[in-house]
Chains A and B, each alone.
Chain A
Amino acid sequence: MSLEIDNEVISKQYKPFISSILWFSILALTLVFIALRGKAPWLIDFPEEWVLPIVLVLNSFMDRIVEFSGEFFRGMSAALEIPMSAIRSLLSWLPWSVSFFILVSISFAASGWKLAVFTAVGVSYILGVGLWIETMNSLALVAVSVPLAVLIGFLIGTAGFLYPRAERAINLTLDALQTIPAFAYLLPILLLFGFGVVVGLIAGVLYAFPPMVRNTLLGLRRVPEEVIESGLMSGATEMQLFFKVRVPSAARQILLGVNQATLAAFSMVVIASIIGGSSDIGWEVLSEMRKARFGESLVAGIVIALMAMIMDRITAGFANRKPADDNFADKPFLIRHNYLLITVLGAVIIYIVSLMYPALQSWPKAFVFDLSGPLNDAIDYVIIEYANWIVLIKKWAFFYLMLPIKMGLEQVISPYSWGFQFTMPLKLAYGATALILVILAWLRGRQSSSVMIGLLTIILFFGLTRMPWPAILLVMTFLSWQLSGPKLALTVLAGLAYLLLSGIWPEALLSVYLCGIGVALSFAIGCSLGILASEFNAISRFLRPINDTLQTIPLFVLLIPFVMIFKIGEFTALLAIMAYAIVPATRYSEHGLRNVSHEAIEAAECMGCTRWQLLMRVKIPMALPEMMLGLNQTIMFGISMLVIAALVGTSGLGQMVYIGLGDGDFGVGMSAGVGMAVIAIIADRMTTAWSKKYEENIGGKIN
């Protein structure tokens, strides 16, 4: 017995030692691979003969489906066209004054006069810039796709709740639907359903129902056990228990699902207009952007942002609405339903009035203001006035950050870029410094930092995209093994094998490079903001609305300001990725830091911690698991922005998806889309495993 324990102790003591020996052998092997690249180029470029014909298989598979069931899908498309065009014509037929009034009074009912004012201002802007019809067309798409998505999502969520066996399958499907970029499944929809507005509708439904499923499941499952038991003890049958106890108790979560579904549907509807678009607001933004008319594009982009915010606040308002006051239920019908009555009555009255005054029917041309002119002037002014700065920032980012990681210092340093030659002595000095750092870290007992430094200096020298693929396989597999075990290692290996064998490895590396920089920067900046926000309430109050806005507005609106100033290119894409991915990093770190248990903080204060010590030694270590969740979300956000960023010219998987869509090549688009999902899933599993391991090390969840 005692012998066993001794063995265990010994193996625990030597484990880090053994693992770092293994790590250094992997690093050495990587260097050997790189040294051999001249003789064996296949170590860098995965040989084409080994690539499996995944694209062809996907294409012929899709052809088959279109051949056999095309009729069915086109029939469905036609069926959906009916309610779609009905709502579309209804919304365009309604006088603007009536719609205005209805929207404002719904806002008031949802959350009060503040939102009503916001909605009134927002709708006035839309009217004022003359994009009313386009907005109504997009709204029609949302109005049809959201109810469909909510219904489907609720049914599937309920099924998952009732049959735990189905749940696994449901979760996998949802993961796939939410990680494969939306563009990738626009194409099959296009092939199956044909062109037209229905494409946007179906894409909207497909994109919007997963959050509904998740929230339904979550809500139903979170109903407290005692509430269920009290229902049972009241003698509820199974049906009664479900509809009278579970669903109403879960109502808030389910309504949050509706909120998320609405936003998802809207952002998809906007994106879908890239292909099926006709005179809706997404199309407006995109076509103007393509013509390099940024002012016009921004004007329309603001409309999208406003719509998204209004829809978000209204649905969230209904989800969080509290029953009015005491004795509300006692009041007569007219008072209990006053909002509804006033809305209907008011709408009818305004309609009748509008029959007499045509200005209330369609917004008079004289009141349309062209904001794009002044906007364009302002942009031009900024670009010309600050031209030097803009060029300088771009150049710095390129030469000192992006290119070294992409291609390696070995290739980037030249008299043109850095102002000097990367001579042999310099290279040797670089290598020696790296080695000294590695050894120093090792001697101070920080084995993992030592390995990390070694790995990073190698990547920085040779460039991420010039890394030998066997080395990447080794590093990733071994790392995931250490994080969680053989199961994760196999998953990661399988994912990487897919990227290699489907022939999208180079594009995948480009995506990882761009996304990696974006995520690293976003995480660093986001965490700093989160720390500041958790320490200073004023900063928190300042950041919250900005974060809300960044998270609510559809992704590609975010591109516009950056494109205007920095033109198209990878740097612009990077900025757009960061603008979006900073949000979760900030949110999670603030939330994690603020939720560190008060007892721990008080205990630390009693021991005489300074504010700084408290932050560094108590709060951050304890909030780390939650901050890691933030990193996980940052990565997911970054990857989802990658496809949108392809619109401004990147060269990675995102671009491939976009090309596939443009050429109608299902195989190319889909294999790249799946590739992005693979990267997302690997990143997700590995960060989750890391945070789990950390949590176990510090002895379970502390908070």
Chain B
Amino acid sequence: MSDISTQVMSNSGTEETSTKGLMKVIMASSVGTLIEWYDFYIYGAMATTIAKQFFPQDNPTAAFLAALATFAAGFVVRPFGALVFGRIGDLIGRKYTFLLTLLLMGGSTFAIGLIPGYAKIGIWAPILILLLRFVQGLALGGEYGGAATYVAEHSPVKRRGYYTAYIQTTATLGFFLSLGVILTTRKVMGVEAFNDWGWRLPFIVSIFLIAISVYIRLRMAESPLFAKIKKEGKISANPLKESFAHKTNLKMVLLALFAAVMGQGVVWYTGQFYAQTFIERTLSIEFEQVRYLLCIAILAVTPFFLVFGAWSDKIGRKTIMMGGMLLAILTYRPIYKAMYHLADPKAKTEIAENSSVSKAVAVAATGDSTITTTTVKAFTDGSSSKVVKKETILADKSKPAPKAETTKTFWLSSFGFWMMTLFVFIQILYVTMVYGPIAAFLVELFPTRIRYTSMSLPYHIGNGIFGGLTPFIATRLVDASKTTENPGGDPYVGLWYPILIASVCFVLGMLFLPSKNDENVMD
């Protein structure tokens, strides 16, 4: 079995071979990290389906919020994972730590695919889901810092931003992979079977992906810098104490969190996740159209992680990260208004002859009847909408009538689809600006002996908490703005959360962050 890191070290005599060896290190690290992100995000990508399977259905908003809360739970424990596994990584090494996180992540994702629904085991279903989300969050908290540190510690000084940007692409590509697997499964088995049990397959598939990744990672050797300080007996005896009890280092942890990662986190999760929530829930765009447009936007924008990572080696990390944050702050509201306009039936002209209203009545054995009214509308720009209203009339008139259920679906026109894709692309482009250089930025901020612990904590508070809670908080803000006069609420009010957080971070970053990169990570 050949050893990837040893190749890098021993072949460092020539630029060409060391670059080749380095690419092997990057690929070996990235595949595992990508699969961990896949595992983490399939839950988010199927939040609506999961809400129906594992949570009480009396109130769909409550079910959706509960599912989002469970999704958020995965994010909230990430800083604890960063502490636990960061410490292990600084004590025993990078390689075995992120092998362990990979196994934990794969095992818990596989188990989610096997849990019976709420209808079968009642309250145990959401409890088990919550516990497994905790394990996923802990594992992810330990993974990213290890992978970024591992790659950075192999990279040449002037190309650190570029090479670590490969690790940065994994989060977006992991999300892409999760969407791709979901779409393919749904297409192959049909919508009904997918909603019934097929949604479990993307979770179960994870076990095979993890097996491949474990095989690749077993071939990796320890990071050369960590191996060097271990040989010299310079390993930290207590990384947690050194990272957070020493003022000089704690200051840098706080700086990293409030002046960089906090804003980066909200920009990332707004572009990639709140955009999806907004398109799917507020605009009611059809399931497959949403996933197709997200996949296209993600695939088109991914190379920009490398572009901005490489650029940050030349002009500095700060300029690019702060530039991305400022663009997001200034343009989020116009972008979301334009997105809303694309799917607003009130702004369109209806073609009366292609529109229809149909009614169907079904009577159950109990005597209760369900009236289903389907209203289909076609518009001159090629878009269309369908509203299905289900009203139940109880045979027993003394009981209160249940609330009518309304489901709206909107199909974008071809032009609307591509414009919507462009708006998502722009938002993820901001993500590439703020996220592409951040691994190199964090690695350069801390010394080798406590790097894993020190960089992981601010990263996971910024991304896991400030970022990860973005869809949860923004959806809650929109719900809170609903009134009797305006039952739909203010669709843009949720954006104030990322805008305000990114604004504070931008001011802090401009004031406090150094403009030049620290070239020395060999300490």
Bound together: no
- Residues of B that sit less than 8 Å from A by CB: none
- Residues of A that sit less than 8 Å from B by CB: none
